[in-house]
C-alpha cells in the first residue's frame, strides 16, 4: 500500500512538472506573439519649415513626445519649397514607413504622392496647413487651425479696436496657409488691408522692408505678422519709422510672449504647434494599432485662441518651457 502511494505521488509530480512545462511554452508563445504585434512603428513627419522658423521646433518637440510615449521611431524631414518637400515625401514612401504626418502648404505638389502613399496602404494625417485641401486628397484626419477662420477672427477684433488700415506681413509667398490668414483678415476687416511679402527669414531685410513701408504709408495703424519671429522685428521697425502702428501676430515664442506681457505686442493668436505635432503622431499610432480615427470627418482644431496681456500669465511658463 505504501509502495502504491509513493508511485501515485511520482505520477502527480510528473504531471505537475508537465503542466508547468506546457504553461512555460504557452507563455513564451504568447510573449513572442505580443512582441510581434508590438513592433516599433516607423512614422515620418514632413513639414515645409524654413530655416530659422522656431515654430517648427515646437511641432517637432510635440511629435517627439508622442513618439516617446508610443515607442515610435520618428523620422523628421522638411523642405522649404514644393519640390524639396515632395522629394522628402517620395523618399519615405519608398522606405515603406508605417505612417506619414504631412503639412500641406503646397497641395498641388503633394497630391499625387499622397495618393501613392494611400494606395500603398500607408495612412496619412494632414497637419498644420492645407485645411481646405486635405479632404479632397482622401486624407482621413487633419490636425491644425482653420487659417481663414483665424484671420477672420483677427479682422473682427481689429474692427472692435477701431483699426483703420492693417498691413499683413507674409514671409513665404505661395504657402497656402499664410495666404489664407491674410485673406481671412481682409474678409472681415472693415478698414483697408494690404499684404507685404518678405524674402524668408532674413530678419535684417524684414525689418528694413517693414520700416520702409511704414514710412511710405503713415496711415497704417496695425501690423499683422504671420509668425512669432517677425513680431519683435515689426516692433523694432515701427519704432525706427516713428510709427504708432501696433503689432499683433500669429503664434508665440518666448520673446514674443514677453512682448505681449509688456504690452509691446498687443496680442497673439495661438494655434498650439506642440499639440499639432503630438496629436499628428499619436493619431497615426492609434490608427495603426487600434484602427482609430478622430474628428468624424472634420478637422481636429488646435486654434485659434487669443493670448493677451490679460491672460499671458496662464501660458507664458509653458511657452518658455517649449511646449506651447
Query: What phi and psi, each to the nearest 5 degrees, are found at residue 9?
Result: -65, -40
Q: What is the pLDDT of residues 63-114, one digit of tens each?
A: 999 999 999 999 999 999 999 999 999 999 999 999 999 999 999 999 999 9
CA dihedral 253, 258, 262, 263 (to 10 degrees): 0
Which residue pairs, CB below 8 angstroms and at least 24 apart, start in 286-290?
Answer: 287/99, 287/123, 287/125, 287/141, 288/41, 288/98, 288/99, 288/123, 289/41
Placement of cell 483677427 in the chain: 154
Indicate left, alpha or beta for 242 from its phi (over 0: left) and psi (-120 to 50: alpha).
left
Intervals of CATH 3.40.50.2300 along the chain: 41-146+273-303, 148-270
* CATH of region 148-270: 3.40.50.2300
The pLDDT of residue 1 is 40
Q: In this structure, which long-range contacts are made by residues 206-212, counting pairs with CB atoms below 8 Å and at least 24 apart in sequence?
A: 206/169, 206/171, 206/230, 206/233, 206/237, 207/233, 207/236, 207/237, 207/240, 208/237, 210/167, 210/169, 210/234, 210/237, 210/238, 210/241, 211/237, 211/238, 211/240, 211/241, 212/241
Task: Give the list of residues 6+ apart from residue 265 with CB closer than 8 angstroms, or none.
Answer: 231, 232, 235, 247, 248, 249, 256, 259
- Quick one: pLDDT at residue 5? 40
Distance, C-alpha 81 to centroid of its chain: 18
Given a contact cutoff of 8 angstroms between Cβ atoms, the answer to whether 128 and 275 are in contact is no
Nearest residue to 101 (alpha-carbon basis) of 67, 149, 53, 69? 67
Q: How far apart are CA 232 and CA 202, in angstroms?
A: 13
**Domain 41-146+273-303, CATH 3.10.580.10 — does that match?**
no
The answer, as to whether pTM is greater than 0.75, is yes
**Per-residue pLDDT, 22:** 38
Q: Which residues of the chain have pLDDT under 50?
A: 1-36
Q: Name which of 138, 116, 102 is nearest 281 in CA terms.
A: 102
- What's the confidence (pLDDT) of residue 38? 64
Amino acid at each position: 500500500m505504501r509502495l502504491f502511494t509513493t508511485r501515485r505521488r511520482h505520477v502527480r509530480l510528473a504531471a505537475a512538472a508537465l503542466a508547468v512545462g506546457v504553461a512555460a511554452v504557452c507563455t513564451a508563445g504568447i510573449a513572442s506573439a505580443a512582441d510581434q504585434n508590438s513592433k516599433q512603428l516607423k512614422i515620418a513627419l514632413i513639414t515645409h519649415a524654413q530655416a530659422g522658423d522656431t515654430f517648427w521646433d515646437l511641432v517637432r518637440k510635440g511629435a517627439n513626445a508622442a513618439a516617446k510615449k508610443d515607442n515610435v521611431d520618428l523620422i523628421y524631414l522638411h523642405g522649404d519649397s514644393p519640390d524639396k518637400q515632395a522629394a522628402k515625401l517620395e523618399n519615405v514612401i519608398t522606405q515603406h514607413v508605417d505612417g506619414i504626418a504631412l503639412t500641406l502648404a503646397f497641395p498641388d505638389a503633394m497630391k499625387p504622392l499622397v495618393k501613392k502613399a494611400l494606395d500603398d496602404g500607408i495612412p496619412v494625417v494632414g497637419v498644420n496647413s492645407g485645411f481646405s485641401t486635405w479632404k479632397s486628397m482622401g486624407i482621413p484626419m487633419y490636425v491644425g487651425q482653420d487659417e481663414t477662420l483665424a484671420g477672420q477672427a483677427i479682422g473682427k477684433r481689429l474692427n472692435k479696436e477701431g483699426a483703420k488700415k492693417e498691413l499683413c506681413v507674409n514671409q513665404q509667398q505661395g504657402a497656402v496657409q499664410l495666404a489664407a490668414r491674410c485673406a481671412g483678415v481682409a474678409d472681415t476687416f472693415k478698414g483697408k488691408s494690404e499684404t507685404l511679402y518678405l524674402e524668408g527669414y532674413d530678419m535684417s531685410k524684414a525689418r528694413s522692408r517693414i520700416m520702409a513701408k511704414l514710412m511710405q504709408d503713415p496711415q497704417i495703424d496695425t501690423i499683422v505678422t504671420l509668425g512669432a519671429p517677425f513680431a519683435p522685428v515689426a516692433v523694432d521697425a515701427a519704432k525706427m519709422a516713428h510709427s504708432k502702428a501696433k503689432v499683433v501676430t500669429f503664434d508665440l515664442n518666448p520673446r514674443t510672449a514677453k512682448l505681449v506681457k509688456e504690452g509691446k505686442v498687443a496680442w497673439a493668436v495661438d494655434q498650439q504647434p506642440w499639440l499639432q505635432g503630438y496629436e499628428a503622431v499619436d493619431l497615426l499610432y492609434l490608427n495603426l494599432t487600434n484602427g482609430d480615427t478622430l474628428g468624424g470627418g472634420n478637422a481636429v482644431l488646435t486654434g485659434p485662441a487669443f493670448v493677451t496681456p490679460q491672460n499671458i500669465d496662464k501660458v507664458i511658463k509653458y511657452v518658455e518651457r517649449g511646449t506651447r
